[in-house]
Amino acid sequence: MNFNEFELHEDVLNAVDSMNYQQATPIQEQAIPHILSGKDLLACAQTGTGKTAAYLIPILDKVAHEANAHTGALILVPTRELAVQIDQQIQGLGYFVGATSIAVYGGNKGPEWDQQKKALTQGADIIIATPGRLIAHLQLGYVHFRDLRHLVLDEADRMLDMGFLGDILKIMSYLPNERQTLMFSATMPPKIGDLAKRILKNPEEIRLAVSRPADRIDQQFYLAKDEQKLPLLMHLLKGVENISMVLFTSRKSNVEPIVRALRKLGLGAHGISSDSEQGEREIVLRDFKNRQFPILVATDVLSRGIDIDNLSHVVNYDVPRDPEDYVHRIGRTARAESKGTAMTFINEHDQKYVLKIERLFEKELEKKSVTAELGLGEAPVFEPPRFRSSGRNNSKSRKKKGGSGAPSARKPHREAKPQSTVDTEGAAVPTADPGTAGAPGTTSKPKRRNKRRRPKKDQPKTVNPTEAQAS
Instruction: Convert the pLDDT of each residue in 421-457 to its tens digit.
Output: 444 444 444 344 434 344 444 444 444 444 444 544 4
Confidence bin at 110 (pLDDT 50/70/90): confident
Contact 150, 126 (CB under 8 A): no
Angle, CA 44 vertex, CA 305 and CA 127 arms, to 5°: 50
Indicate the range of 109-118, 339-348, 419-428 predicted with least confidence.
Answer: 419-428
- Which helix or strand (DSSP H or E) is residue 86 part of? helix 80-93
Helix (H, G, I), strand (E, B) or coil at 464: coil
Confidence bin at 331 (pLDDT 50/70/90): confident
Over its C-alpha atoms, the chain yields an Rg (Å, rounded) of: 26
Average pLDDT of the segment spanning 270-289: 86
Helix (H, G, I), strand (E, B) or coil at 405: coil
Domain ranges of the chain: 3-207, 217-382
According to DSSP, the residues that pair with 222 across neighbouring strands are 345, 368
**How, if at all, do strands 217-223 and 429-430 pair?**
unpaired
Report the mean per-residue pLDDT for the chain. 82
Average pLDDT of the segment spanning 291-320: 84
User: How far apart are the C-alpha atoms of 447 and 409, rounded to whole Å?
Assistant: 9
Torsion-angle region of 369 (φ positive above 0: left; ψ -120 to 50: alpha; else: beta): beta
What pLDDT does residue 305 have?
Answer: 56
Contact 315, 346 (CB under 8 A): no
- Residues 29-56: tens digit of each pLDDT: 999 999 999 999 999 987 778 899 999 9
CATH 3.40.1360.10 holds for 3-207: no
Q: Cβ neighbours of residue 137 under 8 Å, at least 6 residues apart?
A: 104, 116, 117, 120, 143
What pLDDT does residue 241 have?
Answer: 86
Confidence bin at 112 (pLDDT 50/70/90): confident
Q: Do domains 3-207 and 217-382 have the same CATH topology?
A: yes
User: How far apart are the C-alpha atoms of 375 and 232, rounded to whole Å?
Assistant: 10
Contact 302, 271 (CB under 8 A): no
According to DSSP, the residues that pair with 296 across neighbouring strands are 246, 270
Residue of 251, 291, 235, 302 whose CA lies nearest to 268: 291
What pLDDT does residue 12 have?
Answer: 96
What pLDDT does residue 278 have?
Answer: 73
Fold entry, domain 217-382? Rossmann fold (3.40.50)
Question: What are the b/e assignments for 427-446, b being 16+ CB within 10 Å?
Answer: eeeebbeeebbbbeeeeeee
Average pLDDT of the segment spanning 221-249: 94
Average pLDDT of the segment spanning 150-175: 94
